[in-house]
Amino acid sequence: DVKVTQSSRYLVKRTGEKVFLECVQDMDHENMFWYRQDPGLGLRLIYFSYDVKMKEKGDIPEGYSVSREKKERFSLILESASTNQTSMYLCASSGTSGILQETQYFGPGTRLLVL
């Protein structure tokens, strides 16, 4: 089974702190994604990566950056956390071959509260 793990399930940070959210997948997937989930808005794409050291902006990249130094690991960074970044953050991965290449597999999510 595909396994996507996220470093924390719950996180509380203060405004202005630098926050690191880590995601690891064990399926040798090329693609990795970071979303945030807010009630009524569904999942909105923050950043994604199609390869190591490669990154592309999603729909809402402002206030975030990412790092992909190894294929299995994709990190989301909040350089200076703000209260409007309080949200559920979901990491996902997908492969690049076969009929299921669009299928993204999700981690359990990190619920971040910024005070």
Partner 1 sequence: GQQLNQSPQSMFIQEGEDVSMNCTSSSIFNTWLWYKQDPGEGPVLLIALYKAGELTSNGRLTAQFGITRKDSFLNISASIPSDVGIYFCAGSKAAGNKLTFGGGTRVLVKP
The CA distance from 23 to 90, in Å, is 9
Contact pattern from residue 87 through residue 106 relative to partner 1, giving x for each residue in contact according to CB under 8 A and a dash for the rest:
---x-x-x-x--xxxxxxxx
Q: Is 43 in the site for partner 1 (CB under 8 A)?
A: yes
Q: Does 25 bind partner 1 (CB under 8 A)?
A: no
Q: Which residue has the tokens 């299921």?
A: 100
* 45 close to 31: Cβ distance less than 8 angstroms: no
Binding mask 44-63 for partner 1 (x = CB under 8 A): xx--x-x-------xxx---
Strands 56-57 and 64-70: unpaired
Residue 7 CB, shortest distance to partner 1, in Å, is: 14
CB 33 to partner 1: min, Å: 7
Whether the CB-CB separation of 25 and 75 falls below 8 Å is answered with no
115: its two tokens: 């005070």
Interacting residues with partner 1 (CB under 8 A): 4, 9, 31, 33, 35, 40-45, 48, 50, 58-60, 90, 92, 94, 96, 99-109
